[in-house]
Structure 1
Amino acid sequence: MRILCWNTDETVWRHWNRIVGSEVVLVRVTQWSQMLEALQSEDGSFRYCFIYLDNENFSERVELVVSLRASHPQQKMIVFPNQASQQAALRLFSVGVSGQCAPYIGEEQLKLVLSVVESGEIWGGKAFIQQLIMQSAFAMNSGDAELDGLSDREQDVARRIGKGLSNKQIANDMDITERTVKAHLTAIFKKTNTKDRLSLALMVQKSHAMH
C-alpha cells in the first residue's frame, strides 16, 4: 500500500515511518506543487493521502486541502493538524476528508483509523464526530436539497445518521443488514445531493430545527 504524504516536519515524518507496517510505503513531498504533481501523474495509485497541517499558515493549508478534495474527489485523505480547531475540522469533514488524527498518533491507533476509513466511515474520534453532527446546522450550506423526497425507510436511516449512529448500529436498530443500510445511504446521498454522512447529518439537523 502506497501513501502520499505532505509533511514539512522532520520529527513527525520520522514518527510516521516508525508506526506504519512493513506493507506500507510512504512517499513524501514537502511542497504543495509536488503533491499536485504526484496525484496528477499517478492518480489512483495512492491508497491514502496523509496531510500534515502545521501552525504556519494553518488556515491557508486547510483551504489547500479543500481544493485538493474538489480536484480529486475519489482520493481518501487523512489530515494531521498540529492545532485543535473545530472550525477547521468541520470545514474539512464537510468536503469529504476521511479522517483527522494527532500528528504523533500511535501505531495501533493508526491501524484502527485506517480500518475504520477503509470501511467507509469517518474517523475523528466518535465523540468528536458526534459533536460536529450535533452542532447548529447553519454552519453548513445544505443547498436546496430536501429530505421529503426520501422513502419512509430512507427517512428512518437518515434520522439515525442525524443522531450519529454507525452503519452497524443502524442495521441493528432497524433489524436490517449493513449492506441494506449502505444501499439506502447510496440512494439518500443521490436524492439529497449530499456527499457523505456528515453532510447528510447536518442536513437532517437543519431540517429538524426548521420544523
Structure 2
Amino acid sequence: MAQRLATVYVQTRLTLSETEMMEFAQWFAEQQINMQVKVTENGNHEMSFADDLVQEGLLTFERVAGGYLFHGTCRFTNPKLANAMRKAVSMYKGDAIVHRIYAGYTMVYHYVGGTAIKIIESKAGEEKLVYEYKDTLGQLQRLFDKNHVEAAIQVTNIEINELLDARIVCTTELEKAVIDRQLAHLTKTLFTLEA
C-alpha cells in the first residue's frame, strides 16, 4: 500500500456553533492529538497541532454571529491528525477540497456537506475520475415532479379549452364575465406551471 506523504486541505469551510466548537476541540483531545487552543481578543479561536514538538497545522476559527467559521487551508503530514480532520469535516458537515499526496500521484477529494461527492486521481498532469456521487433518488424525484407539472399543464389546457367553448355559446354578458375571470385565473396558473 502506498504511503501518504501529506494531506492538504486546500479549500475548507467549517461552520460551528458555540457548542460544536467545544465538541470540535474535545474531538481532537479524544484522538490523543497534541493541540493548543488560543482565544484572541476578538473571540477568534486558533487551534495549533503539534507532532513530536513540530507544529503540524493551524486552524483559525473566526468569530461570527452565532458561532465560528473556519475558511482556509491547512497541511498535515501526520496520518492520525489527517484522519481526525477528515472525520471532523464529515461530522460537522464541512465543505472541502482535499489533496492526499502520495509518491507519484495525488488523490483529490471533494466534500460537500461532509460527504465525499467526487474523487479524482491526478498523476503526471492527467486526471482520472475514480468516484462521483450520483443523487439517483433526487434525480428520480425531480423527474417525477417534472412529470407531475406536465400533467397539471395538460389538465389546465383542457379546462381552458372547455371554458373557451362555453364562452362561444354564452348568451349574456354576465356569463361571459364569469368565464373571463375563470380564464384569467387559469391563464395565470398555466403561465406559472410552464415557468
Whether these two folds match at TM > 0.5 is: no
Q: TM-score, normalised by structure 2?
A: 0.27
Q: Greater share of helix residues, 1 or 2?
A: 1
Q: Greater share of strand residues, 1 or 2?
A: 2
Q: TM-score, normalised by structure 1?
A: 0.25
